[in-house]
Homo-oligomer: A and B are copies of this chain.
Amino acid sequence: MLKVGIIGATAYTSLELIKILLRHPEVKITYLGVRRTDRPKISDIFPALKGLLDLPCETIEQKEIPGNIDLAFITLPPTISMQYVPLFTGKGIKVIDFSADYRFRDKSLYEKWYKAQHTDSKGIETAVYGLPELFREQIKKTNLVGNPGCYTTATILALAPLLLKGLIFSEDIIVDAKSGVSGRGREPKEDTHYCECNENIEAYSVGGHRHSPEIEHILSIKTHQKVSIQFVPHLIPMNRGILCTIYAKPKAGVYGRSSLHDDDVHKLYKEFYGKEPFVRIKEGNEMPKTKDVIFTNFCDIATKVTENRIIILSVIDNLIKGASGQAVQNMNVMCGFDEKMGLL
């Protein structure tokens, strides 16, 4: 049994992570660390866990590393996370980090967007981006994974096949993203108040969301071209789920045709993701719905070629495939377990 710890146990993603790990046959949760809390047991913080996991939460202020864990999930906020990660990796403990601190290959890009000096140069250099569909082989060999952002996962999976084949203009892409409120975190703020979110939709961070450079950075590296997107996220009155509606411009045809056709693109996606356990391509005119993927690790994708555009729609659960499910998928890959274990 793999002994795992969760550092930052009070986040929404941690609750989902615990639920998944409790179903995982090869894992035992042995440690829960928090920065501060007035409720000593995890089941006091999340009553849903009563009778399932009644572990105490230990404060990690002293930065003493617990001795009984083989792998740590770090669910701390960006810029905080990098203060803890090296303590674990330094002792040979595998780490899957949920923050942005280990998602960039380019330290200066991170520092520009997160407005902080990165204090773990070695970590950021060696970490692997934890999107198994694109980086599986590297994940197998690493001890440190930077777990992708939620918008990022939905967008990259939607765009990768077209960009890798060079079928769209890589600098003329619009990503109109919609997310449930859990994406905003658990801290009570004016903009997470029920009456402010319910019966309302609004855009936020227009032209400046931090997932935008992450998407461009990873896609540029992976597809060897400059990728530039126009990203606008919106807050939707629902707990969880992300839908990305992506508008790209066709550049070339595929399968021997001079222009892009609906069925060619569909075939391309079916082939590209044919062996992936967690990516499903919609058939016919069916559109992906967040309700079909919430509480699962699936990403559902549909494509549609119109007169001037190709539209790609992708949905995930922001807390599962966009965070905790993907982290467990990464753990499975890193530890040699069946990649689907605990996730179906």
Interface residues in chain A, defined as those with a beta carbon under 8 Å from any beta carbon in chain B: 12, 22-23, 46-48, 50-52, 171-172, 174, 176, 178, 180-182, 186, 188-190, 192-204, 206-207, 228, 230, 232, 234, 236-241, 243, 245, 247, 280, 282, 285-296, 298, 300, 304, 306-309, 311, 313, 344
Contacts and interface: CB of A to CB of B under 8 A. Distances in A.
A175 to B, nearest CB: 10
B182 A241 contact: no
Contacts of A241: 199-201
Which of A12, A201, A291 is most buried by chain B, counting CB atoms within 10 A of its CB? A201
Contact of A199 (B51, B172, B286, B291): B291
A202 B290 contact: yes
Given A194-B192, A206-B313, A306-B207, A201 B50 contact: no
A176 B296 contact: no
A188 B199 contact: no
A234 B288 CA distance: 11
Nearest to A50: B280
Contacts of A171: 308
A311 B286 CA distance: 29
A206 B285 CA distance: 9
B228 A308 contact: yes
Contacts of A309: 174, 230
Contact of A344 (B52, B196, B282, B294): B52
A6 B45 CA distance: 38
Please give me the 6 A-B residue pairs with the lowest Cβ-Cβ distance, nearest first.
A200-B291, A188-B188, A176-B176, A48-B292, A194-B197, A202-B289
A234 B178 contact: yes
A243 B203 contact: yes
A250 to B, nearest CB: 12
Given A176-B176, A230-B306, A287 B202 contact: yes
Contacts of A201: 178, 236, 238, 241, 243, 289-290
A287 B181 contact: no
A211 to B, nearest CB: 15
